[in-house]
Structure 1
Amino acid sequence: MNTKAVVLFGHGARDTRWREPFDRLATLWKAQHPKVMVELAFLELMQPSLEEAISSLWTAGATEVVVVPVFFGQGGHLRNDFPVLLSSCQEKFPGVKLSTTPAVGEDGAVLQAIIDFGARAL
């Protein structure tokens, strides 16, 4: 049986308050999709790392993990660093099928939500 999970993957920052929207996002995920495990992970400056998040999910029984880059666009980190990290995780966890989505900021619905947000301020 395949057990699916999601990793919400962000950049990370020195200021711990930067993480707060990610924590809220994970909480919302859990409330709306309680049967799908979710973990946060960060590229740098915050924990857990992508490897730590995938390890946690694997330990909890996940066999399929979709990594969702919570980035506005495909900058150098997503084009260069992220594929290397994902490949390394796949080597370390061969029993887990890893896949990824585009950056959330490249999705039309996300862009429309930003437009709607701005329009509400008018």
Structure 2
Amino acid sequence: MGSHGIVLFAHGARDARWAEPFERLATRLRELRGADAGPVSLAFLELMTPDLPSAVADQVSAGACVVTVVPVFFGQGGHIRRDLPLILDQCRAANPSVEIRCSVAVGEDADVIEAIAGYCLRQASS
């Protein structure tokens, strides 16, 4: 039986430093899941590598039978509503034996909003 991979999907930028928080997030997620839970990787829409099809292919090659794509976007803008479904279709067509899931953008989650609100309050009171 294969593993369950997670791909954190972000926009991408020309400046390599832009990806540093996403790399820290991926590292923390790996720590929380443990080594045997399945791969965690990053993928980018543009300007950085790997792209989503490459990241999914790498996870499938590593034995993932389920891959969950987590858009690390604050909202459901055009990239999430328009571009991501097309890319997911490409990934599913290229990997028909793998279940490829996709969550809503992280910024749409109530717990994420609560965490950001708490951060803002701490900043205002320091």
Query: Which range, TM-score by smaller chain?
Result: over 0.9
Offset at residue 56 of structure 1 (A): 0.5
1:58 and 1:80 mapped to 2: Cα distance? 25
Runs of 4+ in 1 over 2 A off after TM superposition: none
Aligned residue pairs: how many? Answer: 122
2:33 and 2:8 mapped to 1: Cα distance? 14
Superposition RMSD in Å:
0.7
Offset at residue 77 of structure 1 (A): 0.5
2:3 and 2:18 mapped to 1: Cα distance? 30
Letter in 2 for 1:48: P
Aligned to 1:22: 22
Percentage identity across paired residues of the two chains? 49
Q: How does 1:22-101 map to 2 (within 5 A)?
A: 22-34=22-34, 35-101=37-103
After TM superposition, the score normalised by the length of structure 2 is 0.94
Aligned to 1:117: 119
2:120 and 2:65 mapped to 1: Cα distance? 39
1:2 and 1:14 mapped to 2: Cα distance? 35
SS in 2 for 1:31: helix
Q: CA-to-partner distance for each residue in 1:7-45, whole Å, 9 max, x for gaps? A: 000000111110000100010011110223111000000
1:41 and 1:58 mapped to 2: Cα distance? 14
After TM superposition, the score normalised by the length of structure 1 is 0.97
Letter in 2 for 1:44: E
Letter in 2 for 1:64: V
1:84 and 1:45 mapped to 2: Cα distance? 18
Stretches of structure 2 that go unaligned for 5 or more consecutive residues are none
